[in-house]
Copies of this chain bind each other. A is one copy, B any other.
């Protein structure tokens, strides 16, 4: 019988192709981590520890060491973005095709975070990059602001 896998990363997926290109392997753990990010959607950022917890909740036990290794791999392959919002540690989020350049608006008092997109920002970043010969990959604007509740 044919396998009934429904995950996103099967045969011919960008993940598989990218891995094989470098002699690497498509493992269940790598699929699970990337699928988790795809399930929670673009623009949500979680830490390595949170990835571990969420996989456990989904009955997928992946060691924390493997999660760290996988996160580094996926960032290197540009499937994920690594970012930092002042407190705590590193966070990761899906580098979605639908969401190539999105931005963060963070309230400096309560930490509330909103996401937005802006072609204007995209263009400005691209212009700046090209003016000194850089080739744009992506950009993220972090706006520090005060939200209505905290004003």
Residues of A with Cβ closer than 8 Å to B? 75, 78, 82-84, 86, 90, 103, 105, 107-108, 114, 116, 118, 120-121, 123-125, 127-129, 131-148, 151
- Kindly list chain B residues whose C-beta atoms are within 8 Å of the C-beta of A134: 105, 107, 114, 143, 145-148
Q: A143 and B129: CB pair below 8 A?
A: yes
Once the chains are docked, how many angstroms separate the CA of A93 from the CA of B76?
A: 25
> How close is A125's CB to chain B, nearest CB, in angstroms?
4
Neighbouring B residues of A121 by C-beta, 8 Å: 120-121, 124-125, 141
- C-alpha gap A140/B106 in the complex (Å): 12
A119 (CB) vs chain B CBs: closest residue: B124
Neighbouring B residues of A147 by C-beta, 8 Å: 133-134
When the two chains form their complex, are residues A151 and B125 in contact, meaning their CB atoms are under 8 A apart? no
**Chain B residues, Cβ within 8 Å of A139:** 141-144
A103 to B125, CA, bound (A): 9
Complex alpha-carbon distance, A86 and B123, angstroms = 23
* Interface pair A136/B143, CB less than 8 Å apart: yes
Query: Which of B82, B128, B131, B142 has a CB less than 8 Å from the CB of A140?
Result: B142
